[in-house]
Amino acid sequence: MTKKIQSALISVFYKEGLETIVKQLHQLGVQLYSTGGTQKFIEQLEIPVTPVEKLTGYPSILGGRVKTLHPVIFGGILGRRDNETDIKEMAEYNIPELDLVIVDLYPFEETLKTTNNEQAIIEKIDIGGVSLIRAAGKNFKDVLITASPAQYADLEKVITEQRGETTIETRKAFAAKAFEVCAQYDLAISNYFNPSAPIETLNQGPEKTLRYGENPHQKAVFYGDLSKTFTQLHGKEISYNNLVDIDAAIQLIAEFSDTSFAIIKHTNTCGVASRDTVEAAWKAALAGDPESAFGGVLVCNGPINKETAQLINDIFFEALIAPSFDGEALEILTTKKNRILLQYHANADRPSRMFKSILGGTLAQDIDQGNYSSWESHGTRAASETEKQDLAFANIVCKHLKSNAISLVKNRQLVGKGCGQTSRIDSLRQAIDKARQFNFDLEGAVLASDAFFPFDDCVKMAHQAGITAFIQPGGSIRDKDSLEYCKQNELAMAITGLRHFKH
- Tell me the average pLDDT across 448-466: 95
pLDDT bin (cut points 50, 70, 90) of residue 203 is: low
Distances (CA, A) of 110 to 113, 179, 190, 287: 5, 20, 15, 44
> With pLDDT > 90 as the criterion, what percentage of the chain qualifies?
74
> With pLDDT > 70 as the criterion, what percentage of the chain qualifies?
99
Mode of pairing for the β-strands spanning 207-209 and 221-223: antiparallel
335-345 pLDDT per residue, tens: 999 999 999 99
Contact 21, 113 (CB under 8 A): no
Contact 460, 467 (CB under 8 A): no
Instruction: Tell me, yes or no, if 234 is annotated catalytic.
Output: no
Q: Is the pLDDT of residue 471 over 90?
A: yes
Q: According to the model, what pLDDT value does residue 200 have? A: 67
Q: According to the model, what pLDDT value does residue 113 have? A: 86
Q: Is the pLDDT of residue 219 over 90?
A: yes
Q: How many CB atoms lie within 10 A of CB 494?
A: 26
Q: According to the model, what pLDDT value does residue 171 have? A: 94
Cis peptide preceding 404, ω within 30 of 0: yes
Question: Choosing from 266, 306, 345, 402, which is the catalytic residue?
Answer: 266
Q: According to the model, what pLDDT value does residue 204 have? A: 64
Q: How far is it, in rounded angstroms, from Cα 340 to Cα 239? A: 10
Max CA separation in the chain (angstroms): 97
Report the C-alpha dihedral over residues 5, 6, 10, 16, rounded to 10 degrees: 60
Q: What is the mean pLDDT of the chain?
A: 92
CA-angle at 158, arms to 156 and 163, nearest 5°: 105
Q: According to the model, what pLDDT value does residue 225 have? A: 86
Distances (CA, A) of 42 to 78, 409, 439: 25, 65, 72
- Tell me the average pLDDT across 146-165: 90
Question: Choosing from 70, 138, 388, 460, which is the catalytic residue?
Answer: 138
pLDDT bin (cut points 50, 70, 90) of residue 202 is: low
| Long-range contacts formed by 177-181: CB under 8 A, 24+ apart | 177/147, 177/148, 177/151, 178/133, 178/136, 178/137, 178/145, 178/146, 178/147, 178/148, 179/133, 179/134, 179/137, 181/105, 181/133, 181/147, 181/148
Q: How many CB atoms lie within 10 A of CB 190?
A: 12
Q: Based on C-alpha coordinates, what's the Rg of the chain?
A: 30
Q: According to the model, what pLDDT value does residue 201 have? A: 67
Q: How far is it, in rounded angstroms, from Cα 141 to Cα 167? A: 9
SS3 29: coil
Q: Is the pLDDT of residue 467 over 90?
A: yes
Q: How far is it, in rounded angstroms, from Cα 403 to Cα 499? A: 11
Residue 464: φ, ψ to 5°: -60, -30
DSSP state of 197: S
Burial of 195 (0-12, 13-18, 19+ CB in 10 A): exposed
Q: According to the model, what pLDDT value does residue 223 have? A: 86
SS3 37: helix
Q: How far is it, in rounded angstroms, from Cα 167 to Cα 499? A: 57
Q: What is the DSSP string of 395-455?
A: HHHHHTSPSS-EEEESSSBEEEEE-S-SSHHHHHHHHHHHHHHTT---TT-EEEESS--SS
Q: How far is it, in rounded angstroms, from Cα 317 to Cα 295? A: 4
Q: According to the model, what pLDDT value does residue 205 have? A: 66
Model pTM score:
0.74
293-335 pLDDT per residue, tens: 999 999 999 999 999 999 999 999 999 999 999 999 999 999 9
379-398 pLDDT per residue, tens: 999 999 999 999 999 999 99
- Tell me the average pLDDT across 444-453: 96
Instruction: Tell me, yes or no, if 217 is annotated catalytic.
Output: no
Q: According to the model, what pLDDT value does residue 194 have? A: 86
SS3 221: strand
pLDDT bin (cut points 50, 70, 90) of residue 372 is: confident
Q: How far is it, in rounded angstroms, from Cα 68 to Cα 60? A: 8
Query: At 2, which amino acid appears?
Result: T
Q: How far is it, in rounded angstroms, from Cα 310 to Cα 333? A: 8
Distances (CA, A) of 92 to 75, 86, 96, 127: 12, 10, 11, 28
Q: According to the model, what pLDDT value does residue 145 have? A: 96
